[in-house]
Amino acid sequence: MSVSVEQDLQEIRVVDSHTEGEPTRVVMQGGPDLGTGTLAEMRTVFEREFDFFRSAMVNEPRGSDVYVGALFVETLDESTLGGVIFFNNIGYLGMCVHGTIGLVQTLAHLGRITPGDFVLETPEGNVSVQLLEDGTVSVMNVPSYRTHTHISVDVPGADTVTGDIAWGGNWFFLCDDHGQQLDQDRAEELTEYAWNVRKALNAQGYPAVNHIELFGPPVSESADGQNFVLCPGKAYDRSPCGTGTSAKLACLAAEGKLAEGESWVQESIIGSRFSAHYKWQGDRILPYVSGKAYVTGVSTLLLNRSDPYCWGITR
Ligand code: PYC
């Protein structure tokens, strides 16, 4: 039976993990029945008919603003592992690389896969994944590209900032002349700053851009750059953000600053790392992003209809 607001008590089986510090909650059983359409059609049904389930899975009291949820679904295509729809505290994500790495590690933990190559279906298209013997997961993400260069944003209370807009499976504004010190101890200030950039950018005619990516020099000698990524629901990514890393590669490739196949190590605000490279595909790039995830819990969540906060605490 599919999850419903009418049932008194429902059990949902989930596996929690983190990828380079960023949590993913994979729903393995008890989720909504979204039919047999494409993943994009399934996401539309999810959003229209089962949004209460999204909120119940990732918002407090069972989750937090930082959680990314991943609904793992069976599909008709037997050549793929299945499909996945990513969501967060306020809605749905196009693609999510850290979540994909978390899902692959989850499937390995459950004994469903062993090291090898696989394909996963997402609402933004199929992605290829590779699980290595040492637990590293490499994701060949969706084609990525830069659409705008040198956009100046007038940020209230701060200097004008200039950056690029790029697609890496989600829409990003990427900038490095923000004047902010990228330091984990400044997470609150960075969040407020990036939120103001986002509001100003959206008001300036770019409403689809919902991830803000601030760049700075690397802290670690083995990294090429550090980022602070503000996600759509105002939580910052603890990982280096795989779709954000893909968007960065698209900008570097477009500028001629990183050659095809050359390595780029992206460091997060907490010091964790993704390694990445790309291949050209026409005028877009195919990003390859690698990192590791660790399973932190296998649990049964209870949805008790008499609980006033059964469907999550929303803003
Ligand atoms: O790794 O692609 C990613 C991601 C998107 C939002 C949070 N993480």
Q: Which atom of ligand 1 is nearest to the CA of 244?
A: 2
pTM above 0.95, yes or no: yes
With the most atoms of ligand 1 within 8 angstroms of its CB, the residue from 227, 231, 246 to mutate is 231
* 175 classed as catalytic: no
Question: Rounded to an integer, what distance in angstroms lies between the CA atom of residue 145 and that of residue 174?
Answer: 13
CB within 8 A of 42, min separation 6: which ones?
Answer: 34, 35, 73, 83, 85, 123
CA 85 – ligand 1 centroid, Å? 13
pLDDT, position 315: 73
Q: Is 170 left (phi over 0), alpha (psi -120 to 50) or beta?
A: beta
Mind listing the pLDDT tens digit of every residue in the chain (315 residues)? Answer: 789 999 999 999 999 999 999 999 999 999 999 999 999 999 999 999 999 999 999 999 999 999 999 999 999 999 999 999 999 999 999 899 999 999 999 999 999 999 999 999 999 999 999 999 999 999 999 999 999 999 999 999 999 999 999 999 999 999 999 999 999 999 999 999 999 999 999 999 999 999 999 999 999 999 999 999 999 999 999 999 999 999 999 999 999 999 999 999 999 999 999 999 999 999 999 999 999 999 999 999 999 999 999 999 997
How, if at all, do strands 211-216 and 68-73 pair? unpaired
Q: In angstroms, what is the span from residue 99 Cα to ligand 1's centroid?
A: 7
Out of 25, 66, 96, mutate this one to test ligand 1's pocket (max ligand atoms within 8 Å of CB): namely 96
Question: 123 by DSSP, 3-state: which?
Answer: coil
Candidates 175, 231, 241, 310; catalytic one: 241
Which residue's CA is the nearest one to ligand 1's atom 5? 96
Q: How far is CA 184 from the centre of its chain?
A: 19
